[in-house]
Chains A and B, each alone.
Chain A
Amino acid sequence: MQEDILIRLNEAIRVADTKSGMEIVERGLMEGFCAADLVNRACIPAMQQLGDLWEEGEIFLPELMLSAETMKAVMAILTPKMAAEQKERTTCARIVIGTVQGDIHDIGKSLVAAMLEAAGFQVRDLGADVPLEKFCEEAAAFQAHIVCLSALLTTTMMGQKTLIDMLAQRELRKKVKVMVGGAPVSRRWAEEIGADGYGENAIEAVRVARQLTQGKA
């Protein structure tokens, strides 16, 4: 029966059945699962499977957004439990995310924010057309581990580079990792401007964010 809980939780996330997902989690915890087990053996594999289906062209943005909602609801139950279970919390790192100033594109960034939140990160979404100054302020105030910058325009991509320089000037650069993304953004660009991470899509962004925050409180 133990295996059954994992399979059903995985399934609930993949088909975006939030109500069942929450019920299964509660049941799993009653039956003696620890929260980290449910996350690592059901939730994360479900996200990875969704990512594969996305790349294949079997599912699209609507399915991914809905599954992210289910995942968020499930993680809202599991994250505090994990914190209690282990001193070293795995995925409670804080992230500030937004689309850089001058760029009003919101959709891709919102999907990444939803997926990060679904993965258990504490996410502060600043929206689109965000002044670079505001990224710095929020990163400091929120004590963010990562700042994620989206840009969909080749003109506003430059803002990603400027922000990295601004963080360095304020001696925040050592405290906060920078991830960049957006349609015209490439791995090469990320390396060129000295970003710590790049995600080609929302799924990869979550993977990279996990790598960058391993061992972080």
Chain B
Amino acid sequence: MNLLDRIPDQGLLLDGALGTELQRKRLPAGTGPDLWNLENPQAVKEVHASYIEAGSDAISANTFGSNPLRFAAHKSNESWETVTRQGIVLAKEAASNRVLVAGDIGPSGLLLAPMGPAMPEEVERSFAAQARVMDEEGVDFFIAETFFSLQEILLAARAIRSMSERPVFLSLTFEKKRRGYFTIMGDSIADAMKAMAETGATAVGANCSLGSTEMVEVAREIRQAVSIPVIIQPNAGLPTMTPGGAVYPEDVETFAANILRIRQLGVEIVGGCCGTRPETIAAIRAQWK
């Protein structure tokens, strides 16, 4: 049976961080992780393999930063298309049909007009171009994540849908204010989740910015806002810098315990964002029912 069909009953365990794992494999400071699809494909495949080994049901391809608009900021000689295509190829090779592969789409990195320089049509075209390549390469589903603007993720949803019939997961990132949780553009959890669900997305939810403890509160609000499957991927807390590099404060036990609480709220799809590791996923898998 297709794993996606199991979501309502059995849930889905995604992977953990890609970027911070590649940094551990000596991704140089300032190199976009996606560029390693070409420069160090072995390292990318190793990270994928470690998450599959740890028990992920699905892995996200190393394509978060490769939509045309965002990729342009890297001033690389490579093309976004080659990097995206290769990212999907590597993930599919690592998965070898044992687990699902998600085409991972990140925000454009630009503010939409009138706040910033990006016109909505241009941003939508950028997402559509990347989604087309991902669809051609046969991803199992799409995940648009770490968006900080509801307006922009809705453009992504429409762009993906214009290129593919495959399932779409949409995930925003929220900040804690005294008055509650909002995107930096001011979208509230309930409004944003309902608007995303209306695009026909398979799942909606939140990732990044918050550690797993705060994410329990966010998960509760999201679960109350929509009836479709919910996706939650917290950070392992917020990093502090040490001479040896970034350290994420939440240990594996804390994270896994919070993920259990999140699942008990009725959240179907979980995984980890920045600072989570294969052992984080293994700990979640160990308590999976």
Across the interface, A107 reaches (CB within 8 A) one of B23, B111, B177, B246, namely B111
Q: Is residue A217 within 8 Å, beta carbon to beta carbon, of the partner chain?
A: no
Hey, which chain B residues are within 8 Å of A60, CB to CB?
Answer: 182-186
CB of B73 within 8 A of CB of A57, answer no
CB distance from A189 to the nearest CB of B (A): 5
- Confirm or deny: A56 has a beta carbon within 8 angstroms of a beta carbon on chain B: yes
A interface majority secondary structure: loop
**Which residues on B sit within 8 Å (CB–CB) of A105?**
109
> Which residues from B are CB-within-8-Å of A59?
186
A62 touches B185 (CB 8 A): yes
Given contacts A55-B177, A102-B29, A157-B241, contact A65 B186 (CB under 8 A): no
Tell me the count of chain B residues lying within 8 A, CB to CB, of chain A: 32
Shortest Cβ distance from A17 into chain B, in angstroms?
15
Neighbouring B residues of A156 by C-beta, 8 Å: 29-30
Q: Which residues of B contact A58 (CB under 8 A)?
A: 179
Contact present for B30 and A61 (CB under 8 Å):
no
Closest Cβ neighbor of B31 among chain A residues = A102
With A61-B184, A128-B73, A154-B246 as contacts: A184 and B241 at CB distance below 8 Å: yes
Does B289 reach chain A (CB closer than 8 Å)? no
Which residue from chain B places its CB closest to the CB of A52 in the assembled complex?
B178
Task: Give, as a whole number of angstroms, the nearest-CB distance from B75 to chain A.
Answer: 7
- A34 in contact (CB, < 8 A): no
Q: Which residues, 56 to 111 on A, are CB-close (under 8 Å) to B?
A: 56-63, 65-66, 101-107, 110
Residues in B whose Cβ lies below 8 Å from that of A55: 177-178
Contact of A189 among B30, B110, B241, B245 (CB under 8 A): B241
Q: Contacts A61-B184, A65-B115, A154-B239; is A104 near B29 (CB within 8 Å)?
A: no
Q: From residue A205, how far is it (CB to closest CB) to chain B in Å?
A: 16
Query: Contacts of A21 on B, CB cut-off 8 Å?
Result: none
A159–B186 touching, CB < 8 Å: no
Interface assignment of A129: CB less than 8 Å from any CB of chain B: yes
Interface status of A7 (Cβ within 8 A of chain B): no
Closest to B275 in A: A154
B180 beta carbon closer than 8 Å to chain A: yes
Alpha-carbon distance A21/B32, docked complex (angstroms): 43
Within 106-159 of A, Cβ neighbours of B (below 8 Å) are at 106-107, 110, 128-129, 153-159
- Interchain Cβ contacts under 8 Å between A and B, 21 examples: A55-B177, A56-B177, A57-B182, A58-B179, A60-B183, A61-B115, A61-B185, A62-B115, A65-B115, A66-B115, A102-B29, A103-B30, A104-B74, A107-B109, A128-B73, A129-B75, A155-B29, A158-B29, A159-B29, A159-B30, A184-B241
**B residues whose Cβ falls under 8 Å from a Cβ of A:** 20, 23, 27-32, 70, 73-75, 109-111, 115-116, 177-180, 182-186, 238-241, 245-246
